[in-house]
């Protein structure tokens, strides 16, 4: 089973989703479906997509009733064509119908992110640059959304405020200068953490290089300035380009020789994938 499912926040998220949807109970299914009725259902892709979230969907049904058998038919991260069966479920029909919406919601959202990420990665896949996500994630969903980014071929930026120093414009306003901010970070942060600084001009870039920042985030710079930044840096720090990244612009940004391109849209704007569950047969 996928290792991230052992994280307590995943169980909390699934529990919250089930609580939200079920409330005091599935009144429609309870009124119509005998608890003894058994059946088979298929979860199917209705469009071309990159699969993400099958272990989460399986967990949804396992929480409702361990008798439900969830059999994946494809691999996580696999690109599939419209009509592909992603999973086959057998067991109590009432449980399958009760868990349907929550399970498919997880699959649609995560597969949507994986599919959108693959689309964004494609124009730069063979260039020496990595497409990375950001912390612009749905509250509570970050571990899952970043997992989906990886399945789509992207890479993860820091997971939270705890695993990397990123000095942004508001920090700089509070502290007064890049030099002082980096100095304080070097003094207080664990030595194992790299220090990244956000800059908006070539002058700020030079200050960040002078104080020895490990990574420099070039925020909302033109392609011409990104290229100049690479010329000025000469490998002294890693460079991350950010801001106003579109599918069409990515090859031009990659050509400026930055090391990373961060795209918040990978998690905050990916459209949901079209996936459905259909009950095919029943028996008593």
Three-state SS at 42: strand
Strands 215-219 and 238-242: what pairing? parallel
Does 133 qualify as catalytic in the annotation?
Answer: no
Rounded to whole angstroms, how far apart are CA atoms 240 and 261?
A: 6
Which among 196, 198, 204, 240 is annotated as catalytic?
198
Which among 12, 46, 168, 184 is annotated as catalytic?
168
Q: Which neighbouring-strand residues pair with 276?
A: 44
Which among 48, 101, 135, 257 is annotated as catalytic?
101
Tokens linked to 202: 């070539």
Does 15 qualify as catalytic in the annotation?
Answer: no
Contact indicator for 92, 68 with CB cutoff of 8 Å? yes
Among 122, 123, 111, residue whose Cα is nearest residue 149: 111
Rounded to whole angstroms, how far apart are CA atoms 56 and 103?
A: 7
54-64 and 8-22 helices, crossing angle to 10°:
60
Rounded to whole angstroms, how far apart are CA atoms 2 and 76?
A: 10
Which among 133, 145, 219, 240 is annotated as catalytic?
219
Phi-psi region of 245 (alpha: psi -120 to 50; beta: other; left: phi over 0): beta
Which among 48, 135, 136, 228 is annotated as catalytic?
136
Three-state SS at 279: strand
Element housing 186 (H / E): helix 178-188
Contact indicator for 243, 220 with CB cutoff of 8 Å? yes
Does 168 qualify as catalytic in the annotation?
Answer: yes
DSSP 8-state assignment for residue 156? -
> Active-site residue numbers?
101, 136, 168, 198, 219
């Amino acid at each position: 089973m996928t290792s991230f499912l052992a994280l307590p926040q995943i169980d909390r998220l699934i529990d919250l989703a089930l609580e939200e949807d079920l409330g005091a109970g599935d009144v429609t299914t309870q009124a119509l479906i005998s608890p003894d009725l058994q059946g088979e259902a298929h979860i199917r892709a209705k469009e071309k997509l990159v699969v993400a979230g099958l272990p989460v969907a399986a967990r949804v049904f396992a929480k409702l009733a361990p008798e439900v058998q969830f059999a994946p038919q494809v691999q996580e991260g696999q690109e599939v064509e419209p009509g592909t069966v992603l999973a086959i479920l057998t067991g109590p029909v009432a449980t399958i119908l009760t868990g349907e919406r929550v399970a498919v919601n997880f699959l649609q959202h995560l597969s949507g992110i994986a599919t959108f990420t693959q689309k964004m990665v494609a124009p730069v896949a063979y260039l020496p640059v990595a497409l990375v996500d950001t912390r612009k994630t749905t509250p509570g969903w970050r571990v899952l959304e970043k997992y989906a980014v990886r399945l789509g071929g992207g890479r993860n930026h820091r997971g939270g405020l705890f695993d990397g120093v990123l000095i942004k414009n508001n920090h700089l306003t509070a502290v007064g200068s890049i030099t002082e901010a980096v100095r304080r970070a070097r003094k207080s942060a664990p030595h194992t953490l790299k220090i990244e600084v956000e800059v908006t001009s070539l002058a700020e870039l030079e200050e960040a290089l002078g104080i020895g920042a490990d990574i420099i985030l070039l925020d909302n710079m033109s392609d011409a300035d990104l290229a100049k930044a690479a010329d000025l840096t000469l490998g002294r720090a890693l460079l991350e380009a950010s801001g106003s990244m579109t599918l069409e612009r990515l090859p031009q940004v990659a050509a400026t020789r930055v090391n990373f391109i961060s795209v918040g849209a990978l998690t905050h704007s990916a459209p949901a994938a079209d996936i459905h569950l259909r009950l095919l047969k029943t028996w008593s």
